[in-house]
Structure 1
Amino acid sequence: MSCRRFSPAIRIALFVLSLPVFGYASSPCPLDTTNPSVTICTPALNDLVQSPVHVVAGTTDSNLVTTMWVYVDNQLAYKVNASTVDTTVSMPVGHHAISISAIDSTKTIFRKNVPVVMQPPCALNPANQTVTLCSMVSGAVVSLPFHVVAAATDSNPVTSMKLLIDGVNVVNIPNSAILDQYVSNVSLGAHSLTIQAQDSTGTIFNNQSSITVTAASNGLSKLHHIVFFLQENRSFDSYFGVLGQYKASLGLPNDVDGLDPNTSLMTSQGQPVQPYHYRTVCTEGLSVGWGFSHQDVDYGKMDGFVKSAGVAFNSTIDPYGTRAMGYYDQSDFPYYYTAAARFATSDRFFSPILTRTIPNRMYLFTGTSFGNISPVSPPSGGFTQPTIFDHLDQAGVSWRYYYQGALSGAFITQFAIYQSNSNASQSKVVPIANWFTDVKNGTLPAVAFIERADDEHPGNNVQHGAAKVASIANALIKSPSWPDSAFILTYDEGGGLYDHARPAREIKPDSIAPIMPAGTYPGDFNESGFRLPMIVFSPWVRPSFVSHTARDFTSILRLIEDTFHVPSLTLRDANADNMMEFFDFSSTPPLLTPPTLPTQPVNGACDHTLEAAPGF
């Protein structure tokens, strides 16, 4: 077995280089050559960290450094009368400033500061001396590499976290209550997985589960067509928060992590707002940017949505932002609810980045936002970041991009693959009318992307959008391509709407840091965005299946890559789960005869004046 470790805890180790000639000898990283100066190697600026935090830093000074201090939020955390320091610092959840100061023999004091964010990896079991497995549930079906994220709850300091597979110790993380591992080499088949914690009293406690590891492409050759389609700006709780109750009404398991009706979020005026059923299929917009999204998460408390909506959108109808707590049910979306209940869905599918539409759609096409946290205009010639479409071309795999509305609204037109290759690529970007012709004639390409139009974005009529999706999906279900197809529907971001699930921990896609102007809310690319509604339509899905494994859009990329033998784009999609868990390729397609799906109504009241929560 082999593992890749991705910073479950950041270490603080301060190395001081007191040399008459500046250099990097014995230093932990390349040092600032300014005399004197402190260089903090890790944590990086605005890093998302887990307590205890361990810092790596060094100093450059032509005089002897005599004392080092570590401050957290202006409070002294550690002091040593030496030129090196190695210590850990505990931090509560929230934003913090680490400051490292040094003094030399001339009494000169110099320092360096770095802001960080401490956030638990998921909602933890509050019981003392328990371990919570965050990234999957027992019984999960995974592909390699698979991601294991777990955390301990303990009133005493946790001294170690261990990962054992089939009783064999794979890794030991000292002085950390968090375990974050990618396991890349384990045999196929069933395995036991144990996360074991030990605290300062010597007490050992654990979480035991089972997983099944499948070959990355096992059975995927039965899929000849993969279609992916993103609508706009809807959180899981706002659309599928009561899906579990609906499934139960059909005699199916209530196995969805849905909406708690007793949840209460406060307005900026201190008024509580609970989840409520929308009375209108049209509502005003909400807060969706990088800063507001991070404030919505509020260090994992997930309680900022109403306040953000009230501040970000100057509404005269709902000035307190209560519409962030609204939700729809099966009476509004009979098509979506039936499809999610009869085909397959997930209650742990996230957008890739905690911000608005465009950077998330960049991840969908490229596996990264190449540093962007906000919409940007493409350079002359288009964005040059390689896309999944570039890789499909290089592998000789057919693809087509079906756009709705004007061609100018097709996101691919902002990329170099479209702008610099007018004949080969532009001929593959076609109007949505071609979709209906292609599915009818059995001429679908191997990979198809559908651009949004009636996109369900707040401000639009969500039932009209759902009806358009139904017409597109139904065309495939009734076509000769149905027996060997998979159609994945999801949304590009949460849209500022409430969801109770914390963003998932992620691997950074590349070495590109977030492009953040001064005053930008701190954050990084090592966590996902919000949880989203999603449905997988296919005759090969496990009927009525609900996945509880954390994924984002790059799992769609990984599914395409593994199915058609296409190389990955970034570290994010290379390490993503490939969605094999959704499918059953063991015999004949379970849903070759598809379930009956109802007509999606479009007669709901479209009235913004009805959007606010009751009593507001």
Structure 2
Amino acid sequence: ANAQPTGDVCFASAPQTVQMAGRNIGDLLNDKAISWGSFEGGFNLQTVNPNGTTGCMRSHTNPISGMLIADYNGQYTPFQYYPQSSNLAHTRPADVSEIGHPGPANHEYDLDDLLAAANANNLPAVSYVKAVRYQTGHAGGISDPLNEQMFLVQTINALEKTRQWKSMAIVIAFDDSDGDYDHQMSPIFNGSTSPLDALSGMGICGSGDPSLGHAELRCGYGPRLPLLVISPYARPNSVDHTITDLTSITRFIEDNWSLSRIGGGSFDAIAGQLTNLFDFTGHHRTPPLFLKPDTGEPSH
């Protein structure tokens, strides 16, 4: 579970690394020549932080926990695990015009490149964005909701001021609950008959008939998590009750650009759609909302 990407220069001596096979959403976008990029906090090894750290040792101190936290973690960069979409040497893009397109950086960039591209009106059609670790909202002293809020508000405020905002949709998703479970069990969309599962009985998860064929040991869905959409096309003051998961975002990308499905057991094949979160009729456009990064209150 904690394996780093094989070959990443920042984890050459990691005790456990892994490389993924198969295709990812980047491959599907490349097939249709759709611009895309993955923007990871701490990815640029040439940056020197205010505390003097640089390279793979770039770090920040979490001001709430007091812990010194490395900016970069290969586990946060999913495209680093695939040989066709990795940038294991953390090569920089030649210039802002490369961002989103084939080049030395291979679609893998630093978080700082996100706003540089947006301000140059060159933001990729599809962008994956991850904060430096102390602002990811991860529990255990690594981050916290207030540091996460600072990152989200500062980033979204900046994006809302760009020319590309009028056609933008920002999806905020979380990868685990960190133990903050709620009272409602999620429905079982993919069963499992693995002896390592024991949800409905020993060796049984749900009906025991995996919806995705070979996708054993993936009993799901797991605990409920927030998913937010911020966009001029978002339905205002609305809560959608469609059952979705993280691959609903993948499905939205596939459907919006008429891509194929990833296949190979990916949950995008059974994921609920995000379309009910939007109003594409042209009857309404949600105006931008600017917040104060430190309090989350509206900024007038």
Q: TM-score scaled by structure 2?
A: 0.65
Counterparts of 1:499 and 1:420 in 2: how far apart (Å)?
Answer: 38
Counterparts of 2:27 and 2:195 in 1: how far apart (Å)?
Answer: 25
- Superimposed CA distance per residue, residues 171-220 of structure 1 (whole angstroms, 9 cap, x where no aligned partner): xxxxxxxxxxxxxxxxxxxxxxxxxxxxxxxxxxxxxxxxxxxxxxxxxx
**8 Å contact kept, 1:562–1:578:** no
* Cα 1:397/1:357, change in 2 over 3 Å: farther
Residue of structure 2 equivalent to 1:579 = 274
Counterparts of 2:162 and 2:106 in 1: how far apart (Å)?
Answer: 23
Task: Map 1:568-607 to 2 at 5 A.
Answer: 568-570=261-263, 572-591=267-286, 593-601=287-295
Task: Map 1:270-281 to 2 at 5 A.
Answer: none
Counterparts of 2:269 and 2:184 in 1: how far apart (Å)?
Answer: 24
**Does 1:542 find its partner at 2:235?**
yes
* Cα 1:515/1:537, change in 2 over 3 Å: farther
Q: 1:500 aligns with which of 158, 183, 191?
A: 183
**8 Å contact kept, 1:400–1:445:** yes
**8 Å contact kept, 2:86–2:106:** no
Counterparts of 2:103 and 2:259 in 1: how far apart (Å)?
Answer: 19
- Superimposed CA distance per residue, residues 433-461 of structure 1 (whole angstroms, 9 cap, x where no aligned partner): 11111222221111000123221111123
Counterparts of 1:461 and 1:551 in 2: how far apart (Å)?
Answer: 25
Q: CA deviation at 1:402?
A: 0.6
- Superimposed CA distance per residue, residues 101-129 of structure 1 (whole angstroms, 9 cap, x where no aligned partner): xxxxxxxxxxxxxxxxxxxxxxxxxxxxx
Q: 1:412 aligns with which of 73, 79, 82?
A: 79
Counterparts of 2:78 and 2:255 in 1: how far apart (Å)?
Answer: 24
* Cα 1:514/1:536, change in 2 over 3 Å: farther
* Cα 1:383/1:583, change in 2 over 3 Å: same
Task: Map 1:343-492 to 2 at 5 A.
Answer: 377-378=17-18, 382-406=19-43, 409=73, 410-419=77-86, 424=103, 426-453=105-132, 454-458=135-139, 459=141, 460-492=143-175
Counterparts of 2:145 and 2:2 in 1: how far apart (Å)?
Answer: 17
**8 Å contact kept, 1:555–1:578:** yes
**8 Å contact kept, 1:558–1:576:** yes
Q: CA deviation at 1:386?
A: 1.2
**8 Å contact kept, 2:80–2:87:** no
Say which SS state the counterpart of residue 551 (structure 1) adopts: coil
- Superimposed CA distance per residue, residues 358-406 of structure 1 (whole angstroms, 9 cap, x where no aligned partner): 8xxxxxxxxxxxxxxxxx731xxx2113111111111221101111014
**8 Å contact kept, 2:43–2:109:** no
Task: Map 1:36-435 to 2 at 5 A.
Answer: 377-378=17-18, 382-406=19-43, 409=73, 410-419=77-86, 424=103, 426-435=105-114
Counterparts of 2:153 and 2:114 in 1: how far apart (Å)?
Answer: 13
Structure 2 regions of 5+ residues with no counterpart? Answer: 4-15, 45-71, 92-101, 206-216
**8 Å contact kept, 1:401–1:428:** yes
Q: Considering only CA atoms, is the larger Rg found in Structure 1 or Structure 2?
A: 1
**8 Å contact kept, 1:493–1:529:** no
**8 Å contact kept, 2:39–2:111:** yes
Counterparts of 1:581 and 1:427 in 2: how far apart (Å)?
Answer: 33
Identity %: 23
Counterparts of 1:514 and 1:432 in 2: how far apart (Å)?
Answer: 40
* Cα 1:357/1:465, change in 2 over 3 Å: farther
Q: CA deviation at 1:426?
A: 3.2
Residue of structure 2 equivalent to 1:302 = none
**8 Å contact kept, 1:506–1:525:** no
**8 Å contact kept, 2:111–2:131:** no
Structure 1 regions of 5+ residues with no counterpart? Answer: 1-355, 359-375, 603-616
Say which SS state the counterpart of residue 401 (structure 1) adopts: strand
- Superimposed CA distance per residue, residues 142-172 of structure 1 (whole angstroms, 9 cap, x where no aligned partner): xxxxxxxxxxxxxxxxxxxxxxxxxxxxxxx
Q: Which has the higher contact order (CA 8 A, sep 6+)?
A: 1
Which amino acid counterpart does residue 273 of structure 2 have in structure 1?
Answer: N
Which amino acid counterpart does residue 506 of structure 1 have in structure 2?
Answer: F
Counterparts of 1:499 and 1:425 in 2: how far apart (Å)?
Answer: 45
Counterparts of 1:467 and 1:420 in 2: how far apart (Å)?
Answer: 28
Say which SS state the counterpart of residue 163 (structure 2) adopts: coil
**8 Å contact kept, 2:130–2:136:** no
Say which SS state the counterpart of residue 149 (structure 2) adopts: helix
Counterparts of 2:103 and 2:147 in 1: how far apart (Å)?
Answer: 34
**8 Å contact kept, 1:506–1:528:** yes
* Cα 1:562/1:462, change in 2 over 3 Å: same
RMSD of aligned residue pairs (Cα, Å)? 3.0
